[in-house]
């Protein structure tokens, strides 16, 4: 349940403060486009906070997950490169973290076989996030991969025995599924996997310019990599409402409240105060304020990103090293799993 997840998230917070070196973080993004400010406030800031605290970081680029809700992967190589740049420019330190693509880690994927034996088709069909995503993508016939990707995600999390998974709310059913897989494996074959917990952020649902969840496949984003002008253009086109007097009212005025929240996250001030300052300035005044706040906050990140983009050899090296390290971890875990299952041969 949500309240249990919240409690676990709070317990993880406490352990981050007292025992960061006992924790391991895994989180991931799909290479379906460049990262946006929703990712930044929803997840990346937590990644950086954990890195600062001394928690080991594993950052997954979930390339096989691209073909869950679409037929072909598109420019997967280009999109992987953008995710690397976005993560590095945000401040993920390649010396302290492992950034990898799961397609390059065969032993991770092999965990899917025993894990699939631990879940029932009926249980997979009940997953609310899979149902939502299929509906959003307009999919009427769910593929075997779409149905089972939460179990693949369990392999992503458990291959490295991650204990902390910073995510948005939409991911909670998958974390719960991962906990169930870990528990059932341990019951059947002996204690092998820890049960991970979600670390929830304060901004789990940033809206895009059309008023629905900001998503990189929907064209409603402000991308981290955008120029100041592109940002201004995107925000200018954002949906607001006809009331010129700006107030912070997330229930009644979700689009206006979302823009105020973005300004407040960038400025580190209270959204209610920002609303008062804009007063009768209307949507125009609000958008001007948000544009300035976003462009100021992300200027250093954008500068770093441009520098990194000029050195593709370095960026490729980060992925090569990350994939090597992920393979070492996955092979060790797979050996342990096979041995627990009695599959050790001459």
Angle at 173 between CA 168 and CA 177, to 5 degrees: 130
Map the footprint of ligand ATP across residues 263-302, applying CB under 6 A: none
Interface with ligand ATP, residue 88, by CB under 6 A: no
Q: Which one of residues 143, 186, 215, 321 is an interface residue with ligand ATP (CB under 6 A)? A: 215
The tokens of 93 are what?
């330190």
For ligand ATP, give the closer residue by CB, 201 or 240.
201
Q: Tell which one of 15, 205, 244, 338 touches ligand ATP (CB under 6 A).
A: 205
CA dihedral sign, ordered 81, 82, 88, 89: positive
Distance (Å, rounded) from C-alpha 218 to C-alpha 227?
19
The closest alpha carbon to 116, from 162, 143, 146, 148, belongs to 148
Q: Is 150 in the site for ligand ATP (CB under 6 A)?
A: no
Kindly indicate which of the ranges 14-22, 214-222, 245-253, 324-332 contains the residues binding ligand ATP, using the contact rule CB under 6 A: 214-222
Q: Shortest CA distance to 40 belongs to which of 288, 269, 301, 220?
A: 301
Q: How many residues does the chain have?
A: 346
Size of the site for ligand ATP (CB under 6 A): 20
If the CB atoms of residues 136 and 327 are measured against ligand ATP, the closer one turns out to be: 136
8-37 positions binding ligand ATP, by CB under 6 A:
29-30, 32
Q: Which two tokens stand for residue 125?
A: 């069909």
Among 16, 24, 42, 102, binds ligand ATP (CB under 6 A): 42
Nearer to ligand ATP, 133 or 336 (CB): 133
Q: Which residue lies nearer to ligand ATP by CB, 30 or 289? A: 30
* Nearest Cα to Cα of residue 212 among 178, 170, 254: 254
User: Least distance in Å: CB of 74 to ligand ATP?
Assistant: 11
Q: Which of 149, 153, 171, 175 is nearest to 163 (CA)?
A: 175
User: Strands (DSSP E) along the chain, which ranges?
Assistant: 24-29, 56-61, 97-101, 164-167, 197-200
**Is residue 215 helix, strand or coil?**
coil
Q: Which is nearer to ligand ATP, 211 or 282 (CB)?
A: 211
Between 174 and 287, CB nearer to ligand ATP: 174
Give the side-chain half-sphere CA count within 13 A for 346. 0
Distance CA 215, CA 228 (A): 20
Q: Are 111 and 341 within 8 A, CB to CB?
A: no
Would you state the structure tokens that stand for residue 256, as one six-digit string?
């206006």
Q: Which stretch binds ligand ATP (CB under 6 A): 86-94, 162-170, 234-242, 300-308?
A: 162-170
Which 111-130 positions form the footprint of ligand ATP (CB under 6 A)?
Answer: none
Closer by beta carbon to ligand ATP, 42 or else 197: 42
3-state class of 105 per DSSP?
coil
Interaction pattern, residues 165-194, with ligand ATP; x per rule: CB under 6 A = --xx-xx-----------------------
Binder among 127, 143, 186, 217 for ligand ATP (CB under 6 A): 217
Question: Can residue 239 be called a binding residue for ligand ATP (CB under 6 A)?
Answer: no
Candidate list 49, 161, 213, 244; residue touching ligand ATP; CB under 6 A: 213
Interface contacts to ligand ATP, rule CB under 6 A:
29-30, 32, 38-39, 42-43, 167-168, 170-171, 203-206, 213-217
């Amino acid at each position: 349940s949500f309240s249990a997840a919240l409690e676990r998230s709070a317990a993880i917070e406490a352990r981050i403060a007292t025992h960061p070196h006992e924790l391991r973080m895994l989180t991931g993004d799909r290479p379906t486009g460049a990262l946006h400010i929703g990712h930044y406030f929803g997840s990346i800031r937590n990644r950086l906070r954990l890195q600062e605290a001394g928690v080991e970081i594993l950052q997954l680029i979930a390339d096989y997950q691209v073909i869950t809700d679409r037929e072909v992967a598109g420019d997967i190589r280009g999109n992987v490169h953008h995710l690397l740049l976005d993560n590095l420019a945000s401040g993920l330190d390649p010396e302290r973290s492992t950034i990898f693509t799961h397609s390059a880690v065969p032993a991770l994927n092999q965990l899917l076989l025993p894990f699939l034996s631990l879940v029932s088709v009926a249980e997979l069909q009940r997953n609310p996030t899979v149902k939502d995503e299929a509906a959003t993508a307009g999919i009427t016939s769910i593929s075997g991969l779409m149905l089972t990707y939460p179990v693949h995600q369990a392999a992503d999390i458990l291959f490295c025995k991650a204990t902390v998974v910073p995510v948005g709310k939409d991911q909670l059913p998958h974390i719960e599924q991962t906990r169930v897989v870990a528990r059932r494996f341990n019951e059947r074959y002996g204690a092998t996997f820890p049960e991970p917990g979600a670390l929830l952020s304060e901004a789990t649902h940033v809206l895009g310019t059309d008023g629905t969840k900001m998503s990189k496949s929907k064209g409603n984003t402000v991308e981290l990599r955008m120029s100041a002008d592109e940002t201004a253009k995107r925000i200018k086109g954002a949906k607001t409402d006809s009331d010129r007097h700006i107030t912070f009212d997330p229930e009644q005025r979700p689009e206006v409240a979302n823009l105020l929240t973005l300004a407040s996250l960038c400025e580190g001030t209270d959204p209610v105060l920002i609303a008062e300052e804009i007063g009768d300035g209307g949507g125009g005044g609000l958008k001007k304020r948000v544009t300035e706040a976003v462009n100021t906050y992300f200027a250093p990140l954008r500068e770093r990103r441009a520098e990194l983009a000029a050195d593709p050899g370095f960026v490729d090296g980060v992925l090569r090293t990350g994939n090597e390290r992920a393979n070492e971890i996955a092979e060790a875990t797979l050996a342990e799993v096979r041995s627990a299952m009695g599959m050790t041969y001459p």
